Amino acid sequence: MRRRELITLIGGATTWPVAALAQRSERVRRIGVLSPFNQADPETQALLAAFKQRFQELGWSDGRNVKFEYRFTDGNPERTRAAGAELVGLSPDVILAYANPAVSSLIQVTQTIPIVFTQASDPVGSGFVSSLAHPGGNITGFHSFEPAIAGKWLEVLKEFAPGVRRAAVVHHPNIAANVAFVRAAEAASSTFGVTVTAAAVRNPTDIESVLTKFAQEPNGGLIVAPAPSTFDNRDLIVALATRLRLPAVYSYRFFVTSGGLVSYGIDGKDLWRAAAVYVDRILRGEKPGDLPVQLPTKYYLVINLKTAKAQGIEVSSQLQQRAD
């Protein structure tokens, strides 16, 4: 055997095990995911898929250099608190928190593990961060709605149903941001000649009882705030709004694809893709408190013309042209 061939063989024999050893020794990071929603919900799965796709583009592969620990709690506050404590007990490198109930649960049990939230409303008013520009501490993330958006929802409701004189804000009473939506709608009510009612719901029984009672008087409409109790029961809310002939404005497009009349809000997938970038930056050494809380850059108006027709609502060409 010639000397050059021998060197090549030896080089190949030593290089492969070193590369393989480096691959095997790559540190696997652990990411906790806390969602107060139903795991099987198509919207939840679409959001997670958007996150994981962007995360993979940044160099992270589930099972190779990162491992996910998921907890879904079906809108149950006690289970959300328990799942948050359980995730913290696993000492993950980062926890991804979906919506206000998840964040509220986590900040009670850790001030050290980095938390990136997504689709959380009014994070300053809810006590999650001290400011949007300088969140400080162990938490940052992606903001969905300021309380003032409730005034816009009321405006949209009046545009679609000018005859509405009473508006019920369907919300969860234990979510601070939801209560802030009610207050903002009340503050804007005189501008639109509407009386606002706080319609607190925690479960399907509440939803059916509250909406049925509200519909007993005429000229009513609904503003449906974002919360686990409204997300996970959207089919029931949409069905009741249609049957009781209550024009309703929702916060997310998926209510409209489920048969709701109109939504004015954000695309959650945009926030989850952006959250993947923040988680990547934290895993590479940045501190969450140094990363500013980001606000949405685009809001979408989505209309279900079939539902409008079924409820006897005529949607003007101007509104249709504004719709996304």
Torsion of CA 206, 238, 77, 41, to 10 degrees: 150
What pLDDT, in 10s, does the model give residues 149-196? Answer: 999 999 999 999 999 999 999 999 999 999 999 999 999 999 999 999
Confidence label for 11 from pLDDT (cuts 50, 70 and 90): very low
- Token pair in block for residue 130: 């001290």
The reported pLDDT for the residue numbered 323 is 87
Residue 201 near residue 256 (C-beta atoms within 8 A): no
Backbone angles phi, psi at 102, to 5 degrees: -65, -45
User: Do 254 and 300 touch, CB atoms closer than 8 A?
Assistant: no
pLDDT, mean of residues 262-268: 96
Of 319, 193, 187, the C-alpha closest to 262 is 319
Residue 155 confidence (pLDDT):
97
The confidence score (pLDDT) of residue 22 equals: 42
Instruction: Name the band, by pLDDT with cuts 50, 70 and 90, for residue 9.
Output: very low
Beta strand pairing call for 66-72 and 94-98? unpaired
Average the pLDDT over 200-220 and give the result. Answer: 97
- Least confident span in 10-19, 191-200, 203-212: 10-19
Q: What is the mean pLDDT of residues 235-240?
A: 97
Least confident of 18-27, 157-166, 205-214, 261-270: 18-27
Residue 2 has pLDDT above 90, yes or no: no
DSSP per residue over 230-298, as a string?
A: HHTTHHHHHHHHHHTT--EEESSHHHHHTT-SEEEE--HHHHHHHHHHHHHHHHTT--GGGSPPBPPS-
pLDDT of 113: 98
Ordered DSSP codes for 60-125: --BTTTEEEEEEE-TT-HHHHHHHHHHHHHT--SEEEEEHHHHHHHHHTT-SSS-EEEEEES-TTT
Dist. CA 75–CA 213, nearest whole Å: 24
Distance of CA 208 to the CA centre of its chain: 24
**192 close to 158: Cβ distance less than 8 angstroms:** yes
212 has a pLDDT exceeding 50? yes
pLDDT > 70? residue 18: no
Only one residue has tokens 């996910």, namely 68
User: What percentage of the chain reaches a pLDDT higher than 90?
Assistant: 87
39-54: pLDDT as tens digits? 999 999 999 999 999 9
- Give residue 180's identity as a one-letter amino acid code: A
Compute the average pLDDT of residues 294-314.
Answer: 93
Q: Average pLDDT of 284-293?
A: 97
Residue 194's pLDDT is 97
Strands of the sheet with 220-224, listed across from one edge: 195-200, 166-171, 220-224, 248-250, 262-265, 300-303
- For strands 300-303 and 262-265, give the pairing: antiparallel
What is residue 11's three-state secondary structure? helix
Q: How confident is the model over 97-155, as pLDDT tens digits?
A: 999 999 999 999 999 999 999 999 999 999 999 999 999 999 999 999 999 999 999 99
Confidence of residue 324 (pLDDT cuts 50, 70, 90): confident
pLDDT score, position 3: 42
Give the rounded distance of the alpha carbon of 261 from its chain centre.
20
Mean pLDDT of the chain: 92
pTM score: 0.87
